[in-house]
Amino acid sequence: MAALKPKLLLWGNPAAGSGKVKDLLPVLTRTLSENFEVGSYLCPNLEDFNRWWKSAELRWSRVLVVGGDGAFAKVAPYFLGKNIPVNLYPAGAGNDICHLSRFPTNPKRFTFEYLRAREKKLDVGTANGHYFFNSFGVGFDAQVAAASGTFKNWPGKLRYVRALLSQTKNLTPFDLELKFESLARTVKATSLSVGNGPRVGGGFFLTPDAVPDDGILDLCLVEAVSKRQILWNFPRLFKGRHTRLEFTKIYRAKNIAINAPAGTPVHIDGDPVQISFPITIGLAPQKLTFLVRQ
């Protein structure tokens, strides 16, 4: 009698990757079905997923989100504190959460590494009750994330580079109140990035030393800078070398209080969100079961 295969749910976001998820799901189903009993579900919205998940009779052993970081951030909260590994197959623009697992993007190579992967418990950030898994940003960081949606025909990291260049003309430093542990600062800021992982925007290492399971968040504060300084220094972000600049400050903290003027842009895992200030950032250690490359 053949051994029962573990059950794997492929959940696809049809809006990610300019619609390429519809083509990816059958390919991934074929490559993964040799080792898993695969169920695939193309979901138009999170409410539909919620209704479907509550009525599902199968018990899934693993869940693989096919989409972008924003789709992962919406689905993963269903599995917090549960022993069901949730991962991302990259089909968005930034794919920074996939970077945490170090899986390759080719479907066959992905399947090979996915089968051999080991479990890891990721920390999960919270911002006024919203979860984030890789990054949270305020100011220019979030402004660029929002503008990237205008350049959907640009691939991956280039989309965010193009968005950054387009937004320098709209660069406006804002008043930021930042408190954590024993430090309190009021400063004119360009951006504040809170990283559970090291990378945002498909290749910008804003918090290059962040580790997603070390029980602490990394902060990158960029004080008020000119448009010229942004344009001259942004290539440093690809290697995390901006941390040496005098207007950049790196901190580490578990609980953070942020205040800024109403309307200051905010993003969670690359997606613009509406959150009222003040914002309280917290961390739930090792809350999400995740798979990483051996």
Predicted pLDDT at 1: 47
Closest CA to 279 of 293, 268, 270: 268
Q: How far apart are CA 160 and CA 141, in angstroms?
A: 10
Q: Residue 37 carries which side chain, given as an amino acid letter?
A: E
CA angle 176, 276, 237 (to 5 degrees): 50
Backbone dihedral angles phi then psi of residue 262, each to the nearest 5 degrees: -55, 140
pLDDT for the residue numbered 236 = 94
Task: Give the sign of the dihedral formed by CA 161, CA 245, CA 101, CA 273.
Answer: negative
Whole-number pLDDT of residue 19: 66
Domains for the chain: give ranges and CATH numbers. 7-123 (3.40.50.10330), 130-286 (2.60.200.40)
> What pLDDT tens digit does each residue of the chain (294 aa) get?
456 788 898 888 776 656 677 788 888 888 898 888 888 777 766 666 666 665 554 578 899 988 888 888 888 988 898 888 999 988 877 788 988 999 888 888 888 899 899 999 999 999 999 999 999 999 999 999 999 888 888 877 888 999 999 999 989 999 999 999 888 999 999 999 999 999 998 889 999 999 999 999 999 999 999 999 999 998 999 999 999 999 999 999 999 999 999 999 999 998 999 999 999 999 999 999 999 998
Side-chain half-sphere exposure of 5, counting CA atoms within 13 A: 12
Specify the pLDDT at position 55: 54
The whole-model pTM stands at 0.89
* Residues 91, 95, 98, 99, Cα dihedral to 10°: 140
